[in-house]
Amino acid sequence: MTPQLTGVRLRADELVGENGVVSGPLKGYHHETYVLTMPGETRIVKLREPRERILWFDRRCFRSEEALLRELHGRISRIPAVHDVEGMALQVFIEGRTLKSRPWGDRRIPEPVHGQIVDLFRELAHVTPDTLEVERSCEAKDRADDGDCDGFLERLVVFVEEQVYEKNSADFGRLFTELGLHPDAFVQLRKNVSGLTRRDFCLLHADLHRENFVLDPLNQLWSIDWELAMLGDPLYDLATHLYLMSYPAEQERRMAEDWARAVGGVRPGSVRGWADDLERILAFKRAQSVFTDVIRLSLSLRDGSNVNWVRLPSAVRKLQTIMTAAARPLGLAEIPSRSRIAAALLR
């Protein structure tokens, strides 16, 4: 039986016509993505749309990723170009391999890659709120004033509290409670992450992990997936990057120090107090992951109306590890045992 084509796939077939090529869908959680080779052209573009019934746990600040990429052309090196195809703005597909697929051990990255990531942070520091003319999707009341790092982080805490915890409480409230995740955890979180130094804001990618870096055949590093970009505290971009990359300790330290030199060389006011504040923002990232991963891991165990028993042990281990890392910022009195976590997930 031939599987029914989705709307995205049908649009892809229409765009390339009889003489083009459609590849995909590519692997990805949030989007259904196809790579299109247009007839008579060498350019390869991506067509993607959000998957149906996918939960989104990240704040979005720009209305159009493609509009942002166009604005950044010539200001940020090695980002996808945008082409108009049949009235649609599509990103050029970057050919290469992501850092996640590279065969390096102990999560260490090579020095040339390290240097290119530092260069990206340096370029981002040049893009300030007053030099970026792209339509924003967040309301003015949801934007912190330039330099107000406490206000910037508080808005992210509010987003997790309202859009992840409270919004999903009807379906996952019992699970949160059984794991010891109560509303007062956000009171404790605010106490533990407040008091940040004022830093000058700039553009943040806000999602710089191994799958969003692509090494092309010339070993040039490209950054993709800019949909979570925002304007805010540059230290948040570094903290998010360190948290998602899970560097070996020595390379994490070097990345932080090189970030401070690079960004401070562009705007000294963007690195004020960074050494004291980095752990606070990392604590927020650990806490944020608890609420999002409780939901994601629970959903990953669903196999139709049954439980995917094969995935259960790894889900339990991962959730206990994540909760242990976030115990201090969330003020958790105890971490549930693996048997308690498994029972809660199964219920």
Q: What is the pLDDT along the chain (347 residues), one digit of tens a residue?
A: 445 667 777 777 777 677 678 777 777 656 778 887 877 676 788 877 776 556 667 888 999 999 999 999 999 999 999 988 877 888 899 999 999 987 766 789 999 999 999 999 999 999 999 999 999 888 888 899 999 999 999 999 999 999 999 999 999 999 999 999 999 999 999 999 999 999 999 999 999 999 999 999 999 999 999 999 999 999 999 999 999 999 999 999 999 999 999 999 999 999 999 999 999 999 999 999 999 999 999 999 988 888 899 999 999 999 999 999 999 999 999 999 999 999 999 98
- Name the residue range of residue 166's domain: 149-197+275-346
Domain membership of residue 87 (yes or no) is: no
Domain membership of residue 286 (yes or no) is: yes
Of 285, 289, 283, 293, nearest in space to 341 by CA: 293
pLDDT tens readout for residues 35-89: 878 776 767 888 777 765 566 678 889 999 999 999 999 999 999 999 888 778 8
The rounded distance, in Å, linking the Cα atoms of 99 and 194 is: 33
The tally of domains found in the chain comes to: 1
Domain membership of residue 235 (yes or no) is: no
Domain membership of residue 306 (yes or no) is: yes
- pLDDT score, position 8: 76
Domain membership of residue 265 (yes or no) is: no
Q: Which residue's entry shows tokens 């065969």? A: 103
Domain membership of residue 160 (yes or no) is: yes
Domain membership of residue 85 (yes or no) is: no
Domain membership of residue 156 (yes or no) is: yes
The rounded distance, in Å, linking the Cα atoms of 215 and 97 is: 5
The rounded distance, in Å, linking the Cα atoms of 224 and 98 is: 10
